[in-house]
Structure 1
């Protein structure tokens, strides 16, 4: 854990710098494992550890500094061509990275240095200590400091190592169980405050607290609302001079909006860079061979959204490794390459970011979904045969629904897409899934660029206006009443050769149906979790940017709404929670 004797400002800066190095280090080590001949990768790993060592020494963090020095020693003969990259070397470097990560995280695990002395009459003390060290790894992370593993001989009887645990006393107790262990000491480093500050160097960047950015975003949101209100007032008065001034004012607010958004944006590499190591460790644990492809790491997203999608993405990648990609021998029997492929791809769409997680694994057996849905009483026998593949897959988004009977240590019983759906719902995003049995699965996440100001389509029902986030909208159209069919009392429309259910927003909102002989009905074609449907409104107004505000407490529990915005005329407009709207 980071030493409290060092100033908070410098601790934050140190932690931020080291964490930025760790993601790169993990990726470099995974790359080195695949291509051990790459000297440029070895040199870069060495350079980063050397940099962290210097930073840790400056801060007075001796344990971390010595750990980095130890890894430098391991890399030195490899850099010089005297030794080859081994699996032991890869594992030791990754263990070192984990130690550093625990050190700077300040979480439950802390770094402790231990020294043990073996009895003088212990035969082959080096070998015996090595056995004890390996046994310790079942209860804590361990890294040998003095002497190095390759330096162990039959002569040493005093050894130093560091452990990563929240309970060093338990480790000491475990060590004392060995009859050969004469003494166990927990070494406490002298606290130091050794910070070198170079006033001559000006910072290239300014770090801003996310709370300050949130406050700035809220002020900007109020400006946007005021701008729209002023536009309406000027339009009513028809004043040309005011209109000209308003255009200038509007451009200034738009420029400010772009600058604030740019400040809030961080690249997806903040998440994506963790996946090479993550997939490598999972695959190794499961005995699988996986090639991970990552595309679009440079695409930027609002910092708060990055935090919101991190867990769902890890969940989906873990499922792709555990349940998607088959073991090498099974893939070989199926005529596939022994090495499976998982691809994580980000792309820019209009008003949102699309993240795709795809694999070339076993795919989803919809017949199993049907069997499980029948078993759980979600459908009746006579319904089962009529359900389309898309409708069957939608069951996977229900809480607790899984086609797997066996429990996996890695990810439970299965997909658990309800967790992903709920995370997307909270940020106004969307998720859809496509799968072909035996060929693989693709999951698309549609994420708004920011949660504060989003693109939406405004519609009218009765005398009220409602907003629908564009992440759900496929198209707007009009449907003739004569094209509406009824099956088991439910309205359906065939549009572009696809049968889609028709939902009347008036009925959903418990309003009376409209009287009239109009034939063309204004409708929106929407997509929720890969399932398309048509929503009927009274009038389609326009699309544009809206400022998302929290719902008043009195209606916060109504699941049909996800937020509220203020229209240009000053009236509130409820934002519809599309997934919950049609459930």
Structure 2
């Protein structure tokens, strides 16, 4: 058993005893009517979540049944009578027994510790004519065509997409259950009034003019019993449906993980020979280059790596041809005679980041501007006019056909420029960025998903059209008071703290970039909802009408007429209607191109700090379950984060307002005592000192209204615990930070 598994089970052992004791104590006072049903329900809910965190499905199932029972008692559907209390106590005992059996070592394990296993006699050597047997320890292997594996993976992604679509049925069923519950409450009130009226009528029959008026009591009683029976059946169906959906989803995710383990391959298999190839090319060109490869042991989808094979080789060629100076020029600049080119692969924010960097000349901004003017991408500057901003110029190198090479030779390639790299990244729902290195050189970063098909998206609405925005580029969600927006050259802006800098960020209606140039900023109740996106060091706030959801979806590479540069794919929603998936970097580049003067003035531009990404970030985890806190703390600390813990919203606010630690992110459960996650989020956003702090909500409440409420209050992300996995948590944190 791993150390973290032991820690989690130890934490769960203490936590489950606390919850069981509290529930039993509450039941002891139930006869006197002093029981706090809300606390009892919360403890059953926390016990279920803790059991899920340590992967104890049998305990989770019993806790789920207790949670459902207490929910019915709270809603008045079930009375907490003596038989019910006795049943609850039996379930509490069952949980205690299950946990004891799980934590107790088995007889086999005890025997293996107490006595060594008897030695087996050494087998005789096989005869020469005996058939050779495969060593069981080496494992069995099966050759499978890559096309079949890709089809299997695609089928799995399609299945998960269908399951995700099926969630809408669960939400509808839950809504029907809530509506019938409200109908029953109304009926109970009406039934009491009718009974009161009937009693009054029986006392004064002459008021109705006849003693023989038909009695409605039997019909009302039959209707009441039928309504209650229907409600019980619907509640049972809803519970069974939720449990079945959860089980199917867990099974599908297990299959997905198993398929991923087969379809993911080491980057070494695709990029392993690049170092030798580049050294040979440089040697034939008379240049001494040391090529370093870092992180080639990282695992990624074979399709992704194959799609990037030629673009990465193109970048390495460019590093040698455009970046590295001849030996005499390097000597004159005081550089080492031997140049260095590095290919590095890393996991950052749940995505694959490929960096190609050199210690050569660095980007020639003047040459880039001249070529851009020659190609009509920029207008000639008047004398004395400042040059375009560096990020504007460096984004132009990825335009189709753009090249600063003086000629085409073996070293420079075929003269296609870097557009092939940008196109490959776009097809993978990724991005590419060039920036200078200090003191010398250039680096180009490719940011792509680990798998080609499914992408985490923020679904939003603008001008009655649905769009998907890859969540890796989303910095945070904003709710800006309209009367606080500033104006720069007649364009709305807002001031936002980014990386410790006060940045003036443009606020642009998303609809204005996607086909409605004159679209106004959408406002609701005096506020503007906007999503802050970032490409390189440039940020932009895209105003939208509504945030809908954050989910992982199957993205198809289908182009849209008129939006080719901005659209990276499409997804199908529950109603079979397509939604366009937008490219964040293209949206920002589109704004930069159309608002050249504002962009040249540095609007939305933050100074890039190379050390920023290396600083250890501090995360505050807020959850009333010690097991969940232990699990999340171990996951985050293993990734290099500093972790602080709080037991509820009030405790978290004290930590945040005390100023004893600089917190970069808050991860909060929703259902907590004293102050829940929604209350904590609202308090953070209403505090001027904390309002820019990103908050991720984690909860088992997956109702779309709850998700929308969290996003509207300013949550940076909303993760449901039923679908929680380590990759999703780390990917979401990486996107937010």
TM bin (shorter chain): 0.5 to 0.7
After superposition, where does 1:371-390 map in structure 2 within 5 Å? 371-377=370-376, 378-382=378-382, 385=386, 387-390=388-391
Q: Closer, same or farther in 2 for the Cα pair 1:222/1:556, shift >3 Å?
A: farther
Q: Which has the higher strand share?
A: 1
Q: Closer, same or farther in 2 for the Cα pair 1:449/1:554, shift >3 Å?
A: closer
Structure 2: distance between partners of 1:263 and 1:569: 33
The CA RMSD over aligned residues, in Å, is: 2.9
Structure 2: distance between partners of 1:485 and 1:513: 14
Superposition TM-score, scaled by structure 1 size: 0.60
- Tell me if 1:230 matches 2:166: yes
What's the counterpart of residue 275 of structure 1?
Answer: 274
CA contact (8 A) 2:436 2:443 kept: yes
Superposed displacement of residue 557, structure 1? 7.7
Structure whose alpha-carbon radius of gyration is higher: 2
Superposed displacement of residue 267, structure 1? 0.8
What's the counterpart of residue 488 of structure 2?
Answer: 486
Superposed displacement of residue 542, structure 1? 3.1
CA contact (8 A) 2:361 2:440 kept: yes
Superposed displacement of residue 565, structure 1? 1.9
Structure 2: distance between partners of 1:452 and 1:233: 24
What's the counterpart of residue 534 of structure 1?
Answer: 541
Superposed displacement of residue 459, structure 1? 1.2
CA contact (8 A) 1:265 1:303 kept: yes
Structure 1: distance between partners of 2:324 and 2:439: 10
Q: After superposition, give the CA deviation of every residue in 1:278-329 in whole Å (9 maximum; x if it has no partner).
A: 1210121122222222111111111111110000000000111121122222
Q: After superposition, give the CA deviation of every residue in 1:474-500 in whole Å (9 maximum; x if it has no partner).
A: 33333444434333x655554333344
**Would you say how many aligned residue pairs link Structure 1 and Structure 2?**
384
Superposed displacement of residue 440, structure 1? 0.5
After superposition, where does 1:278-317 map in structure 2 within 5 Å? 278-317=277-316
Secondary structure of the equivalent of 1:397?
Answer: coil
Q: Closer, same or farther in 2 for the Cα pair 1:474/1:413, shift >3 Å?
A: farther
Unaligned runs of 5+ in 1: 1-197
Q: Closer, same or farther in 2 for the Cα pair 1:513/1:300, shift >3 Å?
A: same
Secondary structure of the equivalent of 1:495?
Answer: strand
What's the counterpart of residue 167 of structure 1?
Answer: none
Superposed displacement of residue 270, structure 1? 1.7
Q: Closer, same or farther in 2 for the Cα pair 1:456/1:405, shift >3 Å?
A: same
Superposed displacement of residue 568, structure 1? 4.7
What's the counterpart of residue 360 of structure 1?
Answer: 359
Superposition TM-score, scaled by structure 2 size: 0.48
Structure 1: distance between partners of 2:368 and 2:552: 40
- Tell me if 1:216 matches 2:217: no
Superposed displacement of residue 399, structure 1? 2.0
What's the counterpart of residue 625 of structure 2?
Answer: none
Q: Closer, same or farther in 2 for the Cα pair 1:491/1:513, shift >3 Å?
A: closer
What's the counterpart of residue 412 of structure 2?
Answer: 411
- Tell me if 1:545 matches 2:573: no
After superposition, where does 1:326-475 map in structure 2 within 5 Å? 326-377=325-376, 378-382=378-382, 385=386, 387-412=388-413, 416-436=417-437, 439-475=440-476
Structure 2: distance between partners of 1:409 and 1:397: 21
Q: Which has the higher helix share?
A: 2
Q: Closer, same or farther in 2 for the Cα pair 1:287/1:501, shift >3 Å?
A: farther
Superposed displacement of residue 376, structure 1? 3.8
Q: After superposition, give the CA deviation of every residue in 1:129-157 in whole Å (9 maximum; x if it has no partner).
A: xxxxxxxxxxxxxxxxxxxxxxxxxxxxx
Superposed displacement of residue 385, structure 1? 1.2
Q: Closer, same or farther in 2 for the Cα pair 1:550/1:416, shift >3 Å?
A: closer
Structure 1: distance between partners of 2:512 and 2:375: 29
Q: After superposition, give the CA deviation of every residue in 1:397-420 in whole Å (9 maximum; x if it has no partner).
A: 222323343544411597822121
What's the counterpart of residue 141 of structure 2?
Answer: 205
CA contact (8 A) 2:292 2:340 kept: yes
CA contact (8 A) 2:405 2:412 kept: no
Q: Closer, same or farther in 2 for the Cα pair 1:320/1:522, shift >3 Å?
A: same
